[in-house]
Structure 1
Amino acid sequence: MIEVPMSDRHGARRAAGAAPLAWVLACLAGSAAAGTAGVQRDLVFEQVSPLAHPERVLERMTSPLAGAAMRERLHAARARGDADPWPALDLANERFELFVPDGTPPEPGFGLVVFVPPWEAQGLPAEWLRVLQRHGLAAVTATRSGNAQDVGIRRVPLALHAVENVRRRLRIDPGRVYAAGFSGGSRVALRLAVGWPDVFRGALLNAGSDPLGRAEVPLPGPVLFDRLERTSRLVYVSGTRDAPALAADRASLRSAAELCMSGAEAFTIRGGRHEPAGAQAVARALRALEAPPDDAATGEACRERRSRRIAREAQAIAALVDAGDRAGAARELVELDRRWSGLAGAISRELDMHIDGSTAHAAAAD
C-alpha cells in the first residue's frame, strides 16, 4: 500500500456522525434550480429507477440459491397479507443533496459520484467538494441512508434512484459514474460497484470494505462479472491508525486478486484515523479510480484457473449426488453458492434440482 501524508488532511477531526458540510458550502452554494452549480439540498426526486425495484435489487444482492429462498419467503408473506417485508421506496418521502461543478460540462458530460454515508443527515464530506470540482465530477447523496438503515431496502435503492434522477438533470458521462462511501457507507459502495457494474465503473472505498465473493458482497453473473473485472476500478483508502479498516482492505484486496480483478488498488493516509479522507487523499484516489484497468495477458490465465476450479467443485458435488450422499452434496453446494454466487449460478441451480431443490432453503438459513 502507498502512503499519503497528512499535510493536506482536514484540520479539525470529525467523528463519523458529525455534520460534514462547513464553510465550503458558502463558497460553492448556488440556487436550487436543476443544473445550477453548487450544493443543492433537500431535493425531491421523482423518477423511479427500474433497477431499484425490490425484486431486481434482491437478485443482485444475494447468491442465486439464497436469493431463491428469500423470494419464496417474500412471496409467502405477501400471499398471507403480511406487511411487505421488502417494500419499494416512495421517493416523495426521500430527500437528496446534489453537488454540481461550476462551468460548462465537458464532453460527454460530468462524471458522477454517488456517496453513501454512515451518518443519517444530508452531507457530502466538505473537503471532497473542491476536489470533485477540479475533476469535473458531480456528486449526490441521500438523507436517511446511513448505517442505521437497511442496505437492501433503503441504502442501495436510494443510490440507484439517485443515479437515474441526476442523469435526467445533468449531462452525465456514463463511463464516469462511481460509488463512494465512508466507513459503513464504503461497504455499501463496494456492493454497488460489484453488483451493478453496468451502472458504476468503480468505487472509492474510504475506511470500509469486505471480501468479495462472500454473503456481504456476492458476485454477479458471468456477463456482469466480465464487465466488472475488465473495466471497473476499486480504490481503497484508509488511515494507518485505523487498524480494523486496514485489515478489512487487505482481505478485500486478496479476494479481488483471487477473482482475477486487475483494477483494485489501495493506499494509506499516514497517521490517519477512522475519519473521512482529506482533499489530497481523495484527489489521489480519484486519479487511480479514473485510470484504465490493466487487464494484462495474465488476466486470461487467471480466469481459466478460476473456471477450472468452479468446474472441479461442481464435479465433486455431482459425485456426492451419484453416491447417494445428498446431505453432503447439499452442504457443499451451499458453500459453492456462497463462494462463487452468480459466477456459478447456472451450475448451482442445476445441481440443486438434482439434490431435490431444498438446498436454497439451507443457503438462506444462515
Structure 2
Amino acid sequence: MNFNEELKELVVYEAGKPIELLVREFGISPEEIIKLGSNENPYGCSPSVIEAIRTNAKMANFYPDDSMFELKERLANKYCLDLKNIIIGSGSDQIIEFCIRAKCNQKSRILMAKTTFAMYEIYARQIGAEIIKTPSHHHDILEFKQMYSEYKPDIVFLCIPNNPLGECLEKSDVFEFISQTHPDTLVIIDGAYQEFAFAKNKNKGIDPKELLTRFENVIYLGTFSKAYGLGGMRIGYGLAPAFIINALNKIRPPFNISILSLFAAIEALKDEDFVQVCIQKTIKEMLRYESFAHQYDISFIPSWGNFITYTFDNKYSSTELSNWLLKKGAIIRDLKSYGINAVRITIGRMEQNNKLFALLKDFFSQK
C-alpha cells in the first residue's frame, strides 16, 4: 500500500515515557516511580476541578457544547478579548496543526529554532512544507531576523519560553521582530509555559491583549496542560484576530474536546490562586536544581518554564543516565534525539526532587 510521500522521512514524535512502562518492564510499583519527563504539573490540578469532573461524569454520554461559550467567555475576561478572538483545541498542538493546514502547502516555508517543540516540524512535513531552522539550538533573535529576510517564510514559530531547552526571549525583542514581518506572514507565539516566565520576570511575559492590539498577523497559543495541571484532559486555546480565528474554525472538527475537558478547563480558570501557588513552588524548587548543578559542576540552561535542561558535553551520556534512572524508577527526558547530549527534567515536588538528587549523586559518583 502506498502512502503520502511526505510520510517517508517523517519521524514519529517521541512522547514522554509513561509510568506504566516502568511497571511492565522493571516491575516497579507505581507508588515508587517519579515521573519528571513530560513537564506535567506535579501538584495536579485544583481540587475544585477534580470535583467538577466527578460531578459531571454522568454527562459523559453527551457531546460538549461545540460553541464552548462559557470557556471562551472566561478566557475573554481573563485576557480582555472578545469571544471572536478565541479558538479551543485538543491541546494547543491541535491549533498548531490548524495553523499550518490553513496557511501552508508544499510550496510554503516555515521558520523555527533549531531545537524547539518537535510538533512544529512534524505537522509541517505532513503537508510537504519546507523547514527553515536557525543555526543555533536556542532562539537567537538576530538569526531569526536574518533568516526571515533571506527566506520570507509563510509561518514563523516562536516558542516563548522554549521547549525543550527552557530559554526565553525578551518581549521587546519579540515585538520588534514581529513589527518587521510582512502582514501575510503568520507569527505563532507558543506560550505553553508563559505563566512560569511571567511569574519570574515580567519582561519575558507576552500579554495577548497587547500582542493582538499591536499586530494582526499573530496568534498566541496557551494550554491547560502545564500550570493548570490538566495534561490528561488535552485542552488548549489560540488567541488571534477574528479573521485568523475564522479561517482556523473552517478546519476545526466538531466536538474536538471532550465534555469533561470542557468542564475541567472552566473550573480551572476559577481557581487562579491554586495555579499561582504551584508556580511559586516550582520556582523555589528550580533553585535547588540550579544549586545541585553548581555543586556537581553540571552545565545547565537557565529556564523560564517548569523544567530544567542539564547539558553534559562529553562528561556524561544523556542516554546512559536516562536509561539508568528508568531502572531506578525515575523518568526524565533524554534530548539525544534533538542532537544534544542533555536531559530535560521537570521540576517536581520536594520529595520527588529529593529522590532524583540522591539518584543523580549515585550515578555521578560511579563515573
The two structures have a TM-score, normalised by structure 1, of: 0.28
Greater relative contact order structure (CA < 8 Å, 6+ sep): 2
The two structures have a TM-score, normalised by structure 2, of: 0.28
